Amino acid sequence: MNAECLPNRRGLSTLRVTPQLSWTVWVIFLSVVIVGVLATRRQGVFPIFDHAGRCWLNGDRLYQLTPGLDQFLYAPVIAAFFAPISLLPDRVAGVLWRLSGLAFFGFAFFRYLRMLRLESNIQTTSALWLLMLPLLGGSIHNGQTNLFLLGFLLTGVVAVSEKRYWVAALCFGVTGLLKIYPLFLAGILALRSPRIFAYRLAIVVLAGLTLPFLLHRPDYTLGAYLDWFDALSLQDRTFWTLERAPRDFALLARLTGDLLAMPLYRIIQIGLALAITFLCLLVGRRQDANIASGDRPLESQRASFLHVAFTLSCCWMLTLGPAAESSTFCLLAPSLALCLLCDEPARRRCQALSWFTYSLFVLAAVACWLPTGKHFAGVIHPLAGLLFLATRIAWAFDLATRRIEPASNSKQIVLNTRIKIGREGKPCVAASF
């Protein structure tokens, strides 16, 4: 993999992360969460999904307001998925839901690291998992769907790199049925390969919307869809109280005393989405030029483009997306952790800002666990998201405008190597492009 995805040796030596330390911290955290789920009545948001599964089995209305629960807002096919889970005891189902989400994300992240050629360095992997804990902890504790969402996104990206486009379409289709904004990344990839990927994604999404009619009575399913559309039409939380408003750019504007007009906010939202899309495609075009010049291997360039697209799209989803919450910022965990362990000269200039951004996320994670800290975390999250977006746009712009080296200089790829320690303590060579 090229240098933007390689770990920073100086950063690792500063962190001094060992597998034992990473495992210990994660085991302690998961033990606290599991004991809390089994021993208390606080189940996070999982009872919302469990209740939707029971409503699907009993033929009750999915989207009616239930005392003590937030409204279920996912597609009817997601309620059908939770139907068999709702047959389990509540607390057991809550534990299995959290552990299965973490396991699925772990498998997807391992494959993502293998795509970036980082899986052989166990010290780097341990550091990455430890860095991701503050961002992932909230979703695990609350039982959110974000870990599954992130796992499907990573699996879809890896599937595109392996040219398994039906698998990628299935993964991105599931994310679109969970939450609409992950389709932004799928749209970028569809523009990159419109003839190969776009129609597959459309077929999967249509199949997912049609599947509930095969799993339940058509009249019940049609009524569920009508109720779903009504529920979504009433879910504009832009002008809700600051505690419940989305953690995005509009919230920062409200805190400064300027209430953005909705048309202006939509212009900013769509304008930045188009700019990020153009920048990703520009990076992809530059990578194609590198491949044509014989300067870089094909697999390395494809992984580099996908990593850029995944990172920038996740940043947009959270800073200007339609419904960013505190726990949703876990989508930035892989990209932010990889950014902190990078070894790229252009990135090194932003290294201090990246660590400052990460410290803000850690501070927000700690504040969320305090009784009166959620207001404070609501301010930190969008600010940290904007800072990270700025550094990633600068990084992607550097990749898109970097001068292409002539093919004769490709021998430097073999010469510029470093020795890294593998899983079993044996040295392994990693190219520094």
Kindly list the distances between the CA atom of residue 96 and the CA atoms of 28, 88, 90, 363, in Å, as whole numbers in the listed order.
Answer: 17, 10, 10, 29
Closest by Cα among 354, 136, 385 to 248:
385
Among 64-73, 261-270, 410-419, the range of highest mean pLDDT:
64-73
Among 171-175, 390-394, 412-416, the range of highest mean pLDDT:
171-175
Domain interval for residue 345: 3-431
Q: Where do we find the tokens 């997912």?
A: 208
184-221 pLDDT tens trace: 999 999 998 888 898 999 999 999 999 999 999 999 99
Lowest mean pLDDT of 30-39, 374-383, 402-411, name the range. Answer: 402-411
Kindly list the distances between the CA atom of residue 89 and the CA atoms of 44, 54, 94, 108, in Å, as whole numbers in the listed order.
Answer: 15, 12, 8, 28
Q: How far apart are CA 247 and CA 320, in angstroms?
A: 9
Specify the amino acid at residue 165: Y
Is the C-alpha dihedral spanning 67, 68, 72, 77 positive or negative? negative
Backbone φ, ψ for residue 333 (5° rounding)? -60, -50
Higher-confidence residue: 377 or 55?
Answer: 55
Give 156's contacts (C-beta < 8 A, 6+ positions apart): 167, 168, 169, 171, 172, 175, 185, 186
Predicted pLDDT of residue 237: 64
Helix H segments across 120-261? 122-142, 146-161, 165-178, 183-192, 199-215, 218-233, 249-255
Domain count, the chain: 1
Tokens of 143: 């039982």
Cβ burial of 14 (10 Å; 0-12, 13-18, 19+) is exposed
Of all residues in the chain, what percent carry a pLDDT higher than 90?
Answer: 39
pLDDT surpassing 50 at residue 274: yes
Give 313's contacts (C-beta < 8 A, 6+ positions apart): 184, 185, 188, 276, 280
Predicted pLDDT of residue 373: 65
Instruction: Give the mean model confidence (pLDDT) for residues 115-124.
Output: 77
Among 17-26, 114-123, 254-263, 368-377, the range of highest mean pLDDT:
17-26
Instruction: Give the mean model confidence (pLDDT) for residues 224-231.
Output: 91
355-364 pLDDT tens trace: 888 999 888 8
Structural contact between residues 118 and 7, judged by C-beta atoms closer than 8 angstroms: yes
Q: Where do we find the tokens 């058509």?
A: 218
**Residue 26: which H helix or E strand, with range?**
helix 19-39
pLDDT surpassing 50 at residue 427: no
> What's the start-to-end Cα distance of the chain, in Å?
8
Predicted pLDDT of residue 172: 95
Q: Where do we find the tokens 């799928």?
A: 186
Tokens of 259: 């209430």
pLDDT surpassing 70 at residue 175: yes
Higher-confidence residue: 413 or 376?
Answer: 376
Instruction: Give the mean model confidence (pLDDT) for residues 338-349.
Output: 66
Predicted pLDDT of residue 345: 47
Higher-confidence residue: 16 or 315?
Answer: 315
Predicted pLDDT of residue 17: 72
pLDDT surpassing 70 at residue 239: no
Q: At 172, is the secondary structure helix, strand, or coil?
A: helix
Lowest mean pLDDT of 246-250, 284-288, 420-424, name the range. Answer: 420-424
Q: How far apart are CA 433 and CA 430, in angstroms?
A: 9
Higher-confidence residue: 205 or 298?
Answer: 205
393-418 pLDDT tens trace: 988 888 888 765 544 443 333 223 33
Among 161-175, 273-287, 356-370, 418-432, the range of highest mean pLDDT:
161-175
* pLDDT category of residue 123 using cuts at 50, 70 and 90: confident
318-329 pLDDT tens trace: 888 766 777 888
Predicted pLDDT of residue 290: 66
Predicted pLDDT of residue 266: 78
Cβ burial of 351 (10 Å; 0-12, 13-18, 19+) is middle
pLDDT surpassing 90 at residue 107: yes
pLDDT surpassing 90 at residue 279: yes
Lowest mean pLDDT of 106-115, 265-274, 375-384, 405-414, name the range. Answer: 405-414
Q: How far apart are CA 165 and CA 302, in angstroms?
A: 14
Lowest mean pLDDT of 140-154, 231-245, 268-282, name the range. Answer: 231-245
**Residue 427: which H helix or E strand, with range?**
strand 427-431
Predicted pLDDT of residue 344: 54
